[in-house]
Amino acid sequence: MAIVNMIAILLLSGTVVTLAKDYNQQLKRGQIPSFNSHNHPEMVNQIEPGVWGKAETEEEVSRHHAR
């Protein structure tokens, strides 16, 4: 079981590093971090269609977090 988990972690590590860098860059710019699939064209084949369909604007994200 541990071997399967280690393989999964290795396969996902590149994606995790890419998304973590994007998250931290958004924080440094003073933005509320959010995922926008259009900013990551290399991940298009890894994203389930329709899951990240509509990108939220910063205003929509702010309103959502204010609730």
DSSP line for 15-52: HHHHHHHHHHHHHHTTPPP---GGG-GGGGGGSPTTTT
- What residue spans define the domains of the chain? 2-66
Q: What pLDDT was estimated at residue 46?
A: 82
Overall pTM > 0.85: no
What's the CA gap between 9 and 11, in Å, rounded? Answer: 5
Q: List, in order, residues 6 or more apart from 65 with CB less than 8 Å away.
A: 32
Residue 63 has pLDDT above 90, yes or no: no
Residue 33 has pLDDT above 90, yes or no: yes
